[in-house]
Amino acid sequence: MPLDPDDTICFCFHVPLRKVESFCRREKPKAASQISECLAAGTGCGWCIPMLRKVHTKICGEYKPWWKQEEAVDYHSAERDAGQDAIDSETYAAGRAKYLAETKRQPPPE
Ligand code: FES
């Protein structure tokens, strides 16, 4: 089952998918990194960044400046890299725990 609009997409800052989609439709950020202006999504442990990029690309289209023509090597997990329509909320959330353990990153304090 795909992610529900009310599912949390950034666990560090408790940002639901709906907020990120609304932000992208309203602000039309050129780069996915600008989604950080939406309740700081993506600025904690980094787990959700690939999903934020997918949401950004889906809503805003792909924008690649000339200096980023080649794809960076992405070594992260399949759970996080799956599109929002290809993963359920439990699998997405479980993947983050694995990511935090593998990378030894810490979520921001509550
Ligand atoms: S889950 Fe989004 S920054 Fe940690």
Model pLDDT, residue 75: 47
81 domain-assigned: yes
User: Is residue 9 in contact with ligand 1, taking CB distance under 6 Å?
Assistant: no
User: Is residue 35 in contact with ligand 1, taking CB distance under 6 Å?
Assistant: no
User: Is residue 12 in contact with ligand 1, taking CB distance under 6 Å?
Assistant: yes
- Per the structure, the complete domain to which residue 53 belongs is given by 8-65+75-102
Per-residue pLDDT band for 25 (boundaries 50, 70, 90) equals very high
Q: What integer is the mean pLDDT of 25-47?
A: 95
Q: How many structural domains are present in the chain?
A: 1
pLDDT digits (tens, 9 = 90+) for 69-108: 665 445 456 666 666 677 888 888 888 888 888 888 888 8
pTM summary value: 0.71
Sequential DSSP letters for the chain = -PPPTTSEEETTTTEEHHHHHHHHHHH--SSGGGGGGTTTTTSSSSTTHHHHHHHHHHHH-----GGG-SPPP----HHHHS-TTS--HHHHHHHHHHHHHHHT--PPP-
pLDDT at residue 41 tops 80: yes
70 domain-assigned: no
